[in-house]
Amino acid sequence: MLWEKLSELQERVRVITVNILVRPFTIVNRSVSVLRTDGIAGYVRFIRKKIYTKWLRYPSSLLIEVSSKCNLNCSICQAVKASKYRKNSLLLFDDYKKIIDDVSFFCFQINLSFCGEPLLNKDIERMIVYAANKKIDVVISTNGELLSPECAQAILKTPLSRIIISLDAVNETTYKKIRGSGNYDAIVNNIGNLINKRKKLHLKSPVVELQMVCTKANEGQIDEFVLLADQMGADVASIKTLYIDPHGGESYKKNLIENFLPKEGISRYDVDDYKNIKLKEGGPCPSLNMAVITCDGDVVMCCFDIYGKFNFGNAIRESFKEIWKDGKYKSFRENVMKNRKLDLCKTCIYSDCPSIKVELNTNHGRQVGKSEIR
């Protein structure tokens, strides 16, 4: 008992010491780097956004669904079914502009993907440009199928910060098991072409991240996947854990537990003898400073609420700031989400969920870092 109390005290002293000794240097370093790249105006913007997100608790990042429809139908994905629950399958450019105008005052980063395939929205390039001109970092997650040489050329003309491509496999057989349809060789060619063109143009962005969801089909190929990403000239290889979506019903769940949940690879779940899944550890809700907006403009609870059951307002018709600060939403974040009170919270993810991110150009060592949400 006494020993436990002493260890707890020791840990508190360590955290306080680290905060006092290390954090000021981190803040100074970050400030110098922002001043160097963005000048005084950029620095003032950075401080303003920090005040809004850290102290006033506005969301630092957003997922904006520009398309809820998809050109693939991956075996592990339920998000693709969400388009049935949307009135429109694409976000219109004018509605998108209204949302960006509302959030640019505080938001650092947006990802233009939620449930569908973002490259299906024909306005994707001007959407990237519009948000980047408002000094927001723009990321897209794509299956890479539509990333033709023409599309890559157009994307490279935009200031996209990062493109995460769900490659998932080192060969076609594994790819088909996870992704169903989709043409593995064509996607590998698309990625190679994007990277080569970026190199020829001497561009540093977008950062190209090749991603794999760890499943039974590819758990033995993690090292090969990292090597492949490195050989292709990607900047980052990332491995994330499989999510078993409760929206999927019993047969989806059974299929994922029996045929996809990895045995040895990284996983967010433990499975008991009765094939029930349990999140490996608890931890806070990872979505408290993130907002998710569907292609209908609905502001929904988090990226696990794919059908928009918990809807707090419409960012096309109303002010986003007012929706975010509304008492009902605020209290939902502070009481329900923070304390992970919903059934959905029992299977989603926790803040320190295992994932692997390897920075290929700068560091060939393996890093275990924070997971992307989902």
What does the binding site for ligand SF4 look like in residue numbers (CB under 6 A)? 70, 72-74, 77, 79-80, 116-117, 143, 285-287, 301-302, 304, 337, 340, 342, 344-345, 348
Site residues for ligand SAM, window 53-72 (CB under 6 A)?
70
For ligand SF4, the closer CB: 34 or 72: 72
128 binds, among ligand SAM, ligand SF4, none (CB under 5 to 8 A by kind): none
Stretch touching ligand SAM by CB under 6 A, among 135-143, 183-191, 277-285, 347-355: 135-143
Q: Which of residues 243, 252, 310, 329 is near ligand SAM by CB under 6 A? A: 243
| Residue 308 Rama label (left phi>0; alpha psi -120 to 50; beta) | left
228 binds, among ligand SAM, ligand SF4, none (CB under 5 to 8 A by kind): none
CA–CA distance, 299 with 64 (Å, rounded to integer): 9
Residue type at 268 in one-letter notation: R
Q: Is 147 in the site for ligand SAM (CB under 6 A)?
A: no
73 binds, among ligand SF4, ligand SAM, none (CB under 5 to 8 A by kind): ligand SF4
Q: Is 89 in the site for ligand SAM (CB under 6 A)?
A: no
Q: Which of residues 79, 169, 170, 194 is near ligand SAM by CB under 6 A? A: 79
x-marked contacts with ligand SAM along 204-233 as a string, rule CB under 6 A:
-------x-x--------------------
Cα-flanking dihedrals φ and ψ of residue 33, to 5°? -65, -40
Q: Which of residues 66, 115, 169, 293 is near ligand SAM by CB under 6 A? A: 115
For residue 356, which of 221, 178, 199 has the smallest C-alpha distance?
221
187 binds, among ligand SF4, ligand SAM, none (CB under 5 to 8 A by kind): none
> 236-241 and 207-214: which strand pairing?
parallel
Tell the smallest beta-carbon distance from residue 348 to ligand SF4 (Å). Answer: 3
For ligand SAM, the closer CB: 54 or 122: 122
The residues with which 357 forms a beta bridge, in sequence order, are 238, 367
Stretch touching ligand SAM by CB under 6 A, among 95-103, 136-144, 227-235, 280-288: 136-144
242 binds, among ligand SAM, ligand SF4, none (CB under 5 to 8 A by kind): ligand SAM
For ligand SAM, the closer CB: 102 or 209: 209
For ligand SF4, the closer CB: 180 or 220: 180
Backbone CA torsion sign across 241, 245, 248, 251 = positive
**What does the H/E/C string look like for the chain?**
CHHHHHHHHHHHHHHHHHHHHCHHHHHHHHHHHHHHHHHHHHHHHHHHHHHHHHHCCCCCEEEECCECCCCCCCCCCCHHHHHHHCCCCECCHHHHHHHHHHHCCCCCEEECCCCCCHHHCCCHHHHHHHHHHCCCEEEEEECCCCCCHHHHHHHHCCCCCEEEEECCCCCHHHHHHHHCCCCHHHHHHHHHHHHHHHHHCCCCCCEEEEEEEECCCCHHHHHHHHHHHHHHCCCEEEEEECCCCHHHHHHHHHHHHHHCCCCCCCCCEEECCCCCEEECCCCCCCCCCEEEECCCCEEECCCCCCCCCCEEEECCCCCHHHHHHCHHHHHHHHHHHCCCCCHHHHCCCCCCCCCEEEECCCCCCCEECCCCCC
For ligand SAM, the closer CB: 245 or 298: 245
Q: Is 124 in the site for ligand SAM (CB under 6 A)?
A: no
Tell the smallest beta-carbon distance from residue 264 to ligand SAM (Å). Answer: 18
Tell the smallest beta-carbon distance from residue 332 to ligand SF4 (Å). Answer: 9
Q: Which of residues 63, 64, 77, 295 is near ligand SAM by CB under 6 A? A: 77
Q: Is 242 in the site for ligand SAM (CB under 6 A)?
A: yes
Q: What residues line the site for ligand SAM (CB under 6 A)?
A: 70, 76-77, 79, 113, 115, 117, 141-143, 166, 211, 213, 242-243, 245, 374
